Amino acid sequence: MKPLVQFGTMQMLVERLLDGFVSAKEMLESGNTGIGTGAGVDGELIMLDGVAYQVDVQGHVNRVADDFPIAFGDVHQADFKPFKHFENITLEDLSKEILKEVGTKNYFFAVKMTGEFAAVETRAAAKSEKPYPGLGAIAKTQRIFDRNDVKGTMVGYFTPHVYEGVGVAGFHQHFLSDELDFGGHVLGATLKSVDVELQLLSGLTINLPMDNEDYKNADLTDLSTLNDVIHAAESAD
Ligand SMILES: [Zn+2]
């Protein structure tokens, strides 16, 4: 069993460490499926079958160049197992069914849903330039997108709660439409007719920006408000 491979931490985004330190090509060397965000929180990334797409703040879907710089990302090599076909269920209820199937909140696992979605709500962040604002300020410039009756793929990860701050605890999913005209960080969804696949992951491997002076010199010892900021910016509930 393979681990989830992560580049950067959520704490880095909260602490305004938004430089890109890994390219899309380098990230895809660790797997063919994933999610993430660009340097300066430049949109929402989704990697499917070894191809990386960005949903930018305008809501446009762009295939990203090999050298596209990434500030945070999760990637793994897909080896999904079919779970179940679901019809007319909210993402919230489906998440409960998935956790029942996995049987624990203490594993990392990947989720992939393909099919027809009755409604999907997403957001995409706007790229910031240095000096970078915090995640709270970035959240205010993001845009929200809605789409009804859309075919596409939702992919993402479940992270055990003890890793909040390292990643986003709980489910963190991104969406891409089959037509490549809609997507982003998933805030909510209702599924019409969707096949759900799951893949357990053995743990977490983290790659840090070892050549970045800002990261090296940052004081990252105060964790007192970290979880609140992440929860406010990332949570779907
Ligand atoms: Zn996201």
Fold for the domain defined by 4-234: 60s Ribosomal Protein L30; Chain: A; (3.30.1330)
pLDDT at 3 over 80: yes
pLDDT at 161 over 80: yes
> Of residues 65 and 234, which shows the higher confidence score?
65
Q: What is the pLDDT of residues 102-142, one digit of tens each?
A: 999 999 999 999 999 999 999 999 999 999 998 778 888 89
Q: What is the pLDDT of residues 18-64, one digit of tens each?
A: 999 999 999 999 999 999 999 999 999 999 999 999 999 999 999 99
Write the DSSP symbol of residue 183. Answer: E
Write the DSSP symbol of residue 49. Answer: T
CA of 35 from ligand 1 middle (Å) equals: 7
CA of 102 from ligand 1 middle (Å) equals: 22
Question: What span, in angstroms and rounded, lies between the C-alpha atoms of 70 and 177?
Answer: 22
pLDDT at 237 over 50: no
CA of 106 from ligand 1 middle (Å) equals: 20
pLDDT confidence of residue 135: 77
pLDDT at 197 over 70: yes
pLDDT confidence of residue 114: 98
Where are the extended beta strands (E) located within 51-210?
51-55, 61-63, 69-76, 81-90, 108-124, 143-159, 170-177, 183-201, 204-207
Average pLDDT, the chain: 95
CA of 113 from ligand 1 middle (Å) equals: 16
Q: For the chain, give every domain's residue range.
A: 4-234
How many CA atoms does the CB half-sphere of 122 hold within 13 Å?
Answer: 34
pLDDT confidence of residue 236: 53
pLDDT confidence of residue 91: 98
Averaged pLDDT for residues 2-20: 96
CA of 36 from ligand 1 middle (Å) equals: 6
pLDDT confidence of residue 230: 83
Query: What is the reported pTM?
Result: 0.96
